Homo-oligomer: A and B are copies of this chain.
Amino acid sequence: MTALQQKTPQSQSPLDALQAAMRDDMTAVNAMIIEHMQSDVPLIPQLASYLIAAGGKRIRPLLTLACTSLFNGDMVRAHRLSAAVEFIHTATLLHDDVVDDSVQRRGKDSANIVFGNEASVLVGDFLFSRAFQLMVADGNLDVLRILSNASAVIAEGEVLQLSAQNNIDTTMEDYLAVIEGKTASLFAAACEVGPVIADEDAATVKHMRDFGMNLGMAFQIIDDVLDYNAERAKLGKTIGDDFREGKMTAPVILAIQNANDKEREFWQRTLGDKNQHDGDIDTALELMNKNDTIAQGMKMARTYGNEAIKNLALLPATALKTTLENIVTFTIEREF
């Protein structure tokens, strides 16, 4: 966000607008996050606060807050459930970084580097348990069902991603299944919880769930496209992390679909066989550029984004609805 603000200091991004609209609620959510990551075992709050203090956009709890507020739901319940959603996300990040052997997260050394893989696995488990304790305290079985289903689907998406890693025959269908599981399902659940606790009808609940799912798909596709966006390197962000890990994401799959024999050999060596040399990332970017895969990826994301906006169509016109529509566009057109 800082980068965009620096570029256009006078304008407020839709994410800023959502954060502003939900400011008091987010303060309550943050207090609940701090409270529930406490433990008599000092390493737990140390590690958890290291990751949580590093920031992050908090988009998932913001969605739960917004989707409760839209239907005049009980915001005190929304605070607790937003914290639960963020804990599930945080647990996933901790385990992801272990699985990916990551070294950076949110611009700092990742927790597995600072505290070790062992602590990251176990504190992830703790935060995951805390998420369930928060949901049990809320006491709504529908919410528990939605979020326990999402948790299982996230893990399935992560395992599917692991199975597809370094396999250049991974299809776009496989990729979409991975990101639906690992990312979109929690966006969907975060949005579904709002109308559920506001006792809205099944059709409304489904619209909001679909909104979250489509937004999550767009969000992850863009994340994966940005990993190959040379412009982003100018903002001081690293690019090519997915390339180094051999992750089969949209831009790579699109490039491989259009590859000639020699290019296919390149992808097999670098991603399939994990045999990478200096300059390979530049070749990868060239091949993507040639095949226009970045633009194709953006187009895929926009298709999901348009669906997400349609999912909101039946809502009465309010400032919050407009902000959510703008969030969809912003998610796709962001540069970071």
Contacts and interface: CB of A to CB of B under 8 A. Distances in A.
A313 to B, nearest CB: 32
Most B-side CB within 10 Å, residue of A117, A126, A145, A149: A126
Contacts of A44: 156, 159
A160 interface: yes
Interface string A175-207: 000000000000000000000000000000000
A159 B129 contact: no
Interface of A is mostly: helix
B141 A129 contact: no
A130 B156 contact: no
A103 interface: no
Contact of A155 (B122, B139, B163): B122
Contact of A139 (B41, B99, B141, B159): B141
Interface string A115-133: 0011101111110111011
A110 interface: no
A122 B159 contact: yes
A236 interface: no
Contacts of A125: 91-92, 95, 124, 128, 151, 154-155, 158
Interface string A11-48: 00000000000000000000000000001111110000
B139 A152 contact: no
A81 interface: no
Contact of A95 (B92, B121, B129, B162): B121
A91 B122 CA distance: 11
A154 B126 CA distance: 8
A306 interface: no
Closest 4 CB pairs of A and B: A126-B155, A129-B152, A129-B151, A132-B148
A155 B123 contact: yes
Copies of this chain assembled into the complex: 2
A99 B122 CA distance: 8
Interface string A136-158: 10010100110011011011101
A156 B160 CA distance: 29
A41 B153 CA distance: 10
B95 A158 contact: no
Interface residues of A, number: 43
A301 B121 CA distance: 30
Given A98-B118, A119-B159, 16 more contacts: A41-B156, A41-B159, A41-B163, A42-B163, A43-B163, A44-B156, A98-B117, A122-B155, A122-B158, A122-B159, A125-B158, A126-B159, A128-B151, A129-B151, A130-B152, A144-B144
A145 B141 CA distance: 12
Nearest to A127: B155
Given A132-B151, A141-B136, A148-B129, A160 B99 contact: no
Interface string A274-318: 000000000000000000000000000000000000000000000
A159 B123 contact: yes
Interface in A86-125: 91-92, 95, 98-99, 117-119, 121-125
